[in-house]
Amino acid sequence: MNTIARLSSAALLPALLAGCLSTTPPEVSDWNVECTDAAKRVVGNPRFGVARLALVELRAPYAVREIAVLRADGSVAFDPFNAYAAQPVYLLKAAAHDSLARSGLFSHVVGSGSSADADVEVEVAVTRLALDCRNEGRRRAVAALSVRVMRAHEIVADASGSGSADASGPDFSAAFSAAVTAAFSDALKSL
């Protein structure tokens, strides 16, 4: 009997470890971040000519796919069930490009891989991208960033901006997109 029990346990162990006989784990939700229609035109005529979006960086600890959660005790947690649809820096490159183009500050905006001549280069540093749960009963998507405009490796303009949006609803894509768009609008109006 002891041999049969050991053989049965040995046969069931791989199925248990693979999750075949356990409850189904919650599904991971993948969220997008993009420039929304709320992106503001900040000037009537371009001030900088053609801009190349040279760099978008996302500072630690926010550069991972899992959504960072700011907690009331000052710690940062990472939600294993809510993640970005791609590495967040790639999502933010598209949001940065669209925000710069809609601002009216530049005659055209091209990506870093474009062979077009550019009058200026733009660098973006995202210093915060998180779900802020520090206040009990409130959940907000928050974003903070800086934008540098450079000509011939010299900084000719720079500004910082921040944005937030209610994230109490079920759509984190809308909340993070609104926060990022607001942060870009806040920074670009100061250039």
Does residue 19 belong to any structural domain of this protein? no
Strands 120-133 and 66-71: parallel
Buried b (16+ CB within 10 A) or exposed e, 86-98: eebbebbbbbbbb
- What single DSSP character describes residue 176? H
Residues 48-83: tens digit of each pLDDT:
999 999 999 999 999 999 999 999 999 999 999 999
Residue-wise pLDDT for 115-151, tens only, equals: 999 999 999 999 999 999 999 999 999 999 999 999 9
Q: Which domain holds residue 40?
A: 29-188
- Residue 84 forms part of a structural domain: yes
Q: What domain count does the chain have?
A: 1
User: Over the stretch 164-191, which tens digit does the pLDDT of each residue have?
Assistant: 999 999 999 999 999 999 999 999 999 9
Over residues 24-40, mean pLDDT = 90
Domain annotation covers residue 4: no
- The CATH number for 127's domain is 3.40.50.10610
- For residue 102, pLDDT beyond 90: yes
Domain membership flag for residue 16 = no
Asked if residue 61 has a cis previous peptide bond (ω within 30° of 0), the answer is: yes
- Does the pLDDT at position 15 exceed 50? no
